[in-house]
Amino acid sequence: MPPHPLVPSRVTGLAGLTAAAALALGACAAPNPSAAAGTVVVAGYGGSYQEAFEQSVIPGFEKSCGCKVTYIAGSSTDTVAKLKAQAGRPQIDVALIDDGPQAQAAQAGLLAKLDPARVTRLPQVAELARLPGDVGVGFGLTATGIAYNPDWFAENGLPEPTSLEDLASPKLKDKVVLPSITNTYGVHLLVMAAKAGGGSEKNIQPGFDVVRRLAANAVTFDNTADVSNYFLQGQAAASVWGKSRVETLADKKFPIKFVYPKEGAVPLLATANVVNKAPHPDLAARFVNELLGPEAQKKLAQDGYDGPTVKSVQLDPALRDKVVNLDRAAELTRLDWATVNAGRSAWTDTWNKRVEA
């Protein structure tokens, strides 16, 4: 299949500094962007997320609080690396990060408990998005499953994939892009594969066996969490990716669909967190509360296809079908992040030696 002629108008991946660069940034004592009084520094996702924030969330917040917001785009792991580098003198007020890295940051004491007197919408948040001790809160919900190009599958005589194992079909040789273990999608893939092979977070070995079979078809392992260009250029016909990412690409009229695999899709929470010892904790808490408001929840669903986490938020039926709503969330397989994060370093080492090598 030739490359699709559509050129993306925006990058939907997570962009940012590498961990090493972030550490170097902290070591060199870079200028503090939050030094100005009334300037809130938000470190969060890039691409469509950043666009939605800068166009639809930040202007209204700046007007209501009489403050300014500086947005720093970066992947979740990069943002956590920045928080670690700046632990002695935080420069970030609010961190928007995936639930897995968030659990690591919370355990390291880098995030503050949310004050219910300031984050007044906490009681309205669904249980799935309430985090331990209210250290942070989930403000957006999506899921990791299978993404595929239905036109390519039909042209090559392949039925819709329903299982991870379907990505091992010989017809998909060099047409699969898999996520790297360095991003959340890769961790989800490994645990999903482990469960497909009879294992779990506590018995991860079957996951490596399954992923190695899939890797025989992989053209690359993407570490940016964005495989849009691989699909657009015709290099990828299938991947393990997020539903919100798939819907964003489908919104550009590209032929792509999302499948909840029979092994069980994994929920992915976008979390909002007040940084421990943040320069502007009051404004940071107000910003987190703003993300839980109905306008922000609806706008982020419209622009980024993340499902609302606030129970009272109602979406139009057409939009509701494109997001992971709370009813669907009840069917997803939540990860044991304590076990995942405890083993992640060893998993990464094994992955590098047995899978990507």
Per CATH, the number for 144-266+337-356 is 3.40.190.10
Q: Where in the chain is the domain with CATH 3.40.190.10?
A: 19-141+268-329, 144-266+337-356
Which has the closest alpha carbon to 238: 262, 214, 264, 268? Answer: 214
Do the beta carbons of residue 273 and residue 285 sit within 8 Å? no
In this model, does residue 28 exceed pLDDT 50?
Answer: no
pLDDT digit string, tens, across residues 254-283: 999 999 999 899 999 999 999 999 999 999
CA 106, 109, 111, 116: dihedral to nearest 10 degrees? 90
Please state, rounded to an integer, the average pLDDT across all residues of the chain: 89
Give the number of C-alpha atoms closer than 13 A to the C-alpha of residue 247, restricted to the C-beta side. 22
Superfamily of chain region 19-141+268-329? Periplasmic binding protein-like II (3.40.190.10)
Confidence of residue 37 (pLDDT cuts 50, 70, 90): low
Q: Which residue has the tokens 């849009």?
A: 228
Classify burial at 317, counting beta carbons within 10 Å of its beta carbon; exposed 0-12, middle 13-18, buried 19 or more.
exposed
- Please compute the mean of the pLDDT values over residues 149-155 and round it to a whole number: 98
Predicted local confidence at residue 38, as pLDDT: 84
Crossing angle (nearest 10°) for helices 99-107 and 337-351: 110
pTM: 0.82
Which has the closest alpha carbon to 92: 102, 104, 82? Answer: 82
| Longest Cα–Cα distance in the chain | 61
Instruction: Please list the alpha-helical segments (H only) found in 292-334.
Output: 294-304, 317-320, 326-329
And the tokens for 115? 């004050």
Name the percent of the chain lying above pLDDT 70: 90
Predicted local confidence at residue 331, as pLDDT: 87
